Amino acid sequence: MGLNRKTQTRISQFARRFGGSFVNLIGKSLRLEVRGWGRFQHLAKEGSPLVFQFWHGDMFISWYLTSPLKPAAIVSQAGDGDIASAVLEGLNYVTFRGSSTRGGRRAYQGMLRYLRKQDIKISAFASDGPRGPRREMKPGTYVAAQHLNGYIIPTATVSRWVLRARGWDKFAIPIPFSRAIASFGEPIKVNPKLRGKDLDEALKQASELCKKHQEDLDNSF
């Protein structure tokens, strides 16, 4: 964002107090159609770990819908991460701070330890973050599902009217009262034993399924 530390701190404090309420207020105003919510309910009731797969630029509605599930998430330690973490904590998320270049392993291990202690093991990953390329899945989402022996839940959202940021992810904030759709795809069961080329191929297939799920929704809207 290019903000100085003092400004980031003030925005983070504001986000901590009002960010969750802002997301909920926008979410409740939308003419929102939710598809596929029942696809993973039986898995959650059975105690199967669920890893919700988001795209970085399309997380807003996903945050709103998954908030009641109290997911765990890893958030960057950069300044922008302070703001995102504050918003997510206001939405009942449990956040762990780290990224691929700073504190990522510690945050990841902390999240896994936390989830293994929970009766309902739910996490969420912006799978093309933190720096893109846009809508290209990084290994973290699949590997987390491997370590938890769980399922990836592809998540796609689209809104008729949005405000978009200029960054690589084109982060979208829906305009109140817009028509919107959120779609949860068929759960993807991961194989916890895959390594090497087999893991690379499984990751590629999962990425293609998640990307197609979003593209199909975009094209049908």
pLDDT truncated to tens, each residue of the chain (221 aa)? 445 666 667 766 777 778 899 999 999 999 999 999 999 999 999 999 999 999 999 999 999 999 999 999 999 876 677 788 889 999 999 999 887 667 788 999 999 999 999 999 999 999 997 788 999 999 999 999 999 999 999 999 999 999 998 888 999 999 999 999 999 999 999 999 999 999 999 999 999 999 999 999 999 98
Tokens of 84: 């995102």
Here the CATH number for the domain that contains residue 94 is 3.40.1130.10
pLDDT at 8: 62
d(CA 74, CA 112): 11
Range of the domain at 125: 5-220
pLDDT at 16: 74
pLDDT at 114: 96
Count of structural domains within the chain: 1
Helix axes 59-66, 5-29, angle to 10 degrees: 70
Give yes or no for a contact between 129 and 140, defined as CB atoms under 8 angstroms apart. no
pLDDT at 210: 97
CA end-to-end span of the chain: 31
Nearest-Å Rg of the Cα atoms of the chain is 17
Peptide bond into 130 cis (omega under 30): yes
Residues paired with 151 in a beta bridge:
50, 189
pLDDT at 98: 83
